[in-house]
Amino acid sequence: MIEDGVARFRIAQGIAVCGTRKVKLMKDFILEFDTRLVSGDTTSLIMIDFHSIESNHHFFLNLFPADWAWNIGKWWGSYFNMPSGKDIAIGPVGMTMHTTIIVRGSQFAWYIGQTPMAFFEDIHLDNSGETFFHCSSISPAECEFDNIKYWNLANIPGLP
pLDDT, tens digit, for every residue of 13-37? Answer: 765 565 555 566 678 889 999 998 8
The strand pair at 57-64 and 84-86 is best described as unpaired
Please state the pTM of the whole predicted model.
0.81
- The architecture (CATH level 2) of 2-155 comes to Sandwich (2.60)
> Which residue did the predictor score with more confidence, 1 or 118?
118
> Which residue did the predictor score with more confidence, 135 or 18?
135
Spatial separation of the C-alpha atoms in residues 97 and 36, rounded to whole Å: 6
Spatial separation of the C-alpha atoms in residues 138 and 17, rounded to whole Å: 9
Q: pLDDT value at position 11?
A: 86
pLDDT bracket for residue 147 (50, 70, 90): very high
